[in-house]
Amino acid sequence: MDTTRRETRSVIDVRGLRKRYGTKQAVDGLDLRVDQGEIFAVLGPNGAGKTTTVEILEGFRDRDSGEVTVLGQDPASGGRAWRSRLGVVLQDSRDQVELTVRELVRHFAGFYPAGRDPEEVIDAVGLREKESTRARHLSGGQRRRLDVALGIVGRPELLFLDEPTTGFDPQARRSFWELVRSLREDGTTILLTTHYLDEAAFLADRVAVVRDGRVVALDTPDALGGPQARRPVVRWTGPDGTTHAERTTHPERLVAELTANGALDGEAPGLQVEHPSLEDVYLELIGTAAPTTASTTATTTAPEGSTQGRSTEEVAR
C-alpha cells in the first residue's frame, strides 16, 4: 500500500446538484468535493448559486435533484446530532436581538456539550469591548463577527461561512483571516464563499469558481485557470510610442527578440512583465474580462495599472 499518499476523507460530496426557483435555474448540475481539514473557497458573481448551494448543504433548503453527502449524511434527512457537528454563518442575519454579545455567545454555547469556552470565543472574534452591547446596537462588521462567534462556539467539525467578511474594515478582515486559519489548525473543515479574491488567495487550500450554477474551475489558488491562463504578460512601448502587450511562457526570450529586432530600444520604456493575479484569472473565468485580441501584438490603450485591460489580452504565439 502506498503510505506516502495523503489520506483524505471527503466531508462534502456533491454530484449533479440542481435547484430551480420558478423559471430560474439557480444551481445547474454542480459538482463539488471538500476534503477533511481544508479551507475551500467558493467564488462567483452575484446570483451564481453559491448561497443556494451552501443552504442545501446546511440542510436549510431542499434540492430538486443530485446527490449530496455532508459529514456522511444527506442534509435533507440530517437530524439534530448531525446538525450539532456543523457551524453555520449565513449570508444575512438581520434578526434584531435584545441580548448582549456575551449573553448570546453563552446561550449558543449551551447547546453544545463539547463547545468552546464562550469567553475565548469573544476574544477570538475581537468583541471583548462589545461584550455588554446588545446585538442590535452593533455595527455591521461587529454583527458579522458575532455571527462568526455563534458559528464556531459549538466547536463544529465543518464550518460554513457565507460571505463572512462583508462590511469588515481591513484590520478586522485580517484578524478574521487569522482566526479562520487557527480554526483549520484545530482541524475544522471550512467552506467559505466570498467576493474577495484576496481572501480566497490568502485562506483557501482550493478554490471553486461557480458561474450560472455550475463549477467552471476548481484548483489551488496558484494553479486556478491552468497554465495557459497563468502565462505572464509582457508590456512595452515601441519606438513610435504605441504600447504593446503580449502573453508568453518565456518573457525573457520575447524581450531578447524585441531588442534584437529593434522593437525595443536600449531604454526599454514601459517594459513590464506581469503575472496574472487570481483576480485576472477569475475575471476571465466568469467572462467579464476585457475583450481578447487575437493579433500577434495586442495594442492596448488602457491606462497603466487600470484593472480594465490588465493581463487580459489573449495573444496567439
Ligand X SMILES: Nc1ncnc2c1ncn2[C@@H]1O[C@H](COP(=O)(O)OP(=O)(O)O)[C@@H](O)[C@H]1O
Total of chain residues touching ligand X, rule CB under 6 A: 11
Interatomic CA distance for residues 122 and 4, integer angstroms: 40
SS3 content of the chain, % helix, strand, coil (to 5): 30, 25, 45
Span 232-271, contacts to ligand X by CB under 6 A: none
Instruction: Choose, by CB under 6 A, the member of 44, 118, 225, 276 that binds ligand X.
Output: 44
Comparing CB distances to Mg ion, the nearer of 50 and 145 is 50
Q: Which CB sits closer to Mg ion, 92 or 265?
A: 92
Judged by CB under 5 A, the residue of 19, 51, 109, 155 near Mg ion is 51
Burial class (CB in 10 A: 0-12, 13-18, 19+), 301: exposed
CB of 59 to ligand X, least distance (A): 16
Query: Which residues between 275 and 304 bind Mg ion (CB under 5 A)?
Result: none
Q: Which residue type sits at 120?
A: E
Query: Binding string to ligand X for residues 4 to 23, with x set by CB under 6 A, is what?
Result: -----------------x--
DSSP conformation class of 73: B
Are 207 and 176 in contact by the 8 Å Cβ rule? The answer is no
Given ligand X, Mg ion, none, residue 48, with its beta carbon under 5 to 8 Å by kind, binds ligand X
- With binding defined as CB under 5 A, does residue 142 bind Mg ion? no
Supply the minimum distance, in Å, between the C-beta of residue 213 and ligand X: 7
User: Residues 243, 78: contact at Cβ < 8 Å?
Assistant: no
CB burial string 72-91: b at 16+ within 10 A, e below: ebebeebeeebbbbbbbbbe
Q: Which of 40, 43, 52, 144 binds ligand X (CB under 6 A)?
A: 52
Residue ranges binding ligand X (CB under 6 A): 21, 24, 26, 44, 46-52
